[in-house]
Amino acid sequence: MKDFNIAVIPGDGIGKEVVSEAVRVLETAADLHGGLSFQFTEYPWNCDYYLEHGVMMPEDGLEQLQPHDAVFLGAVGDPNKVPDHISLWGLLINIRRSFEQVVNIRPAKHIKGVRSPLHDPKGFDFIVVRENSEGEYSESGGRIHQGDDEIAIQNAVFTKKGTRRAMDYAFKLAESRRHHVTSATKSNGIVHSMPFWDEVFKETAIDFPDIKTRKVHIDALSAFLVSQPETFDVIVASNLFGDILTDVGAAIMGSIGIAPSANINLNGKYPSMFEPVHGSAPDIVGKGIANPIGQIWTAKMMLDHFGENELGNHLLSSIENVLDSGIKTPDLGGKATTEEVTNAVINELKKL
């Protein structure tokens, strides 16, 4: 019996609505598997918690999470309650960094039954490997002068180690896929960090002679995700560029409500964290129409992470069958509720 301890953080808004549904799916998956079980422990850390306690999580929050095999998170942030930079840096980014979740993995795939805004999505299927610990997201910087003379300086910091490990991850991933890695750069305009990024990419490529490579500036690359998404397999990108590319990836999939992601700890010292790409969507809270697919697909990534790839693939097939059958939430043009979609996925899973 493989037993996994999962820390569950529903977070804010629809996070609370979709996480419980994905947990139902995971429980079904474990039952079907036989040799697998999950223990879920819920942590109520979110913007309401902040309003009550003045912090996004208790002082020993990270220690509480640490012993788990994974963190399963819904969505963090609700700008009507707490400014984003406080809620996000206090919880989401804090966990990513403290637990050395140094790469963020986000697949984007054309799913049958989901209408892409593109005429001809040509069955695109790529994964963005995003550097998740440094780069443009840095607390280094500050301001000088006041009033009309004020200046803000922001430092982006790229280390060889941080850059290299993201690239190694991308190349290894490509070995199990279509053997192609594209690097998102901007070395024609950003003249210190990006030429460094290019150098490390070149260096890494030497160690993976069977992988074809391509280097595309972020402006053109964002455009190519619209005009030729089928030409990409694995894309490796800095923290900011990965953030942008994965939202465009979610957009061409047809809804940000279905896109999953994984924050991976590579050194085994801390748990990894699984969270969908979408936010807390305060505008649709309480209506029962939040799309649970992003969270359920995120659960599939967690299964893969635990080495349960077969079960993970079954889950993805179940998702695809349900969407193809037309059982969809309103963001996808359907009429089903959060619960109905989840029930349909569970039924599919039982069939496989």
Q: Which residues bind its own copies (CB under 8 A)?
A: 77, 84-85, 88-89, 93, 115-120, 136-137, 139-143, 147-161, 186-197, 218-220, 222-224, 226-227, 239-240, 243-244, 246-248, 250-252, 256
Dig out the tokens for 35 from the structure: 């040799």
139 in contact with ligand IPM (CB under 6 A): no
188 in contact with ligand IPM (CB under 6 A): yes
> Which is closer to its own copies, CB of 115 or CB of 335?
115
> Which is closer to its own copies, CB of 4 or CB of 137?
137
How does DSSP classify residue 66?
T
Q: How many residues does the chain have?
A: 352
> Which is closer to ligand IPM, CB of 254 or CB of 260?
260
Dig out the tokens for 292 from the structure: 């649970």
CB of 214 to ligand IPM, least distance (A): 17
Q: Which of helix, strand or coil describes residue 9?
A: strand
> Which is closer to ligand IPM, CB of 39 or CB of 188?
188
Q: Which of 156, 119, 131 is nearest to 236 (CA)?
A: 131
Would you put residue 168 in left (φ > 0), alpha (ψ -120 to 50) or beta? alpha
Cα separation, 186 vs 285, in Å, equals: 39
Cα separation, 28 vs 347, in Å, equals: 9
CB of 345 to its own copies, least distance (A): 24
Which alpha helices (DSSP H) does 207-337 contain, by range?
218-227, 239-253, 293-305, 309-324
> Which is closer to its own copies, CB of 68 or CB of 186?
186
243 in contact with ligand IPM (CB under 6 A): yes
CB of 327 to its own copies, least distance (A): 22
CB of 248 to its own copies, least distance (A): 5
Q: Which does 98 bind (CB under 5 to 8 A by kind): its own copies, ligand IPM, none?
A: none
219 in contact with ligand IPM (CB under 6 A): yes
207 in contact with ligand IPM (CB under 6 A): no
Cα separation, 179 vs 32, in Å, equals: 33
Residue 347: other Cβ atoms inside 10 A? 14
Using CB under 6 A, which of 189, 286, 307, 333 touches ligand IPM?
A: 189
Strand partners, 213: 181
251 in contact with ligand IPM (CB under 6 A): no
Backbone angles phi, psi at 62, to 5 degrees: -65, -40
Dig out the tokens for 337 from the structure: 């509720």
Residue type for position 118: L
> Which is closer to ligand IPM, CB of 182 or CB of 239?
239
> Which is closer to ligand IPM, CB of 204 or CB of 255?
255
Q: Which of helix, strand or coil describes residue 180?
A: strand
CB of 66 to ligand IPM, least distance (A): 21
> Which is closer to ligand IPM, CB of 97 or CB of 177?
97
Pairing of strands 234-237, 180-185: parallel
Q: Which does 209 bind (CB under 5 to 8 A by kind): its own copies, ligand IPM, none?
A: none
88 in contact with ligand IPM (CB under 6 A): yes
Q: Which of 108, 93, 102, 156 is nearest to 130 (CA)?
A: 102
Which residue bears the tokens 């037309």? 326
Q: Which does 156 bind (CB under 5 to 8 A by kind): its own copies, ligand IPM, none?
A: its own copies
State the residues that interact with ligand IPM by CB under 6 A: 88, 188-189, 219, 243
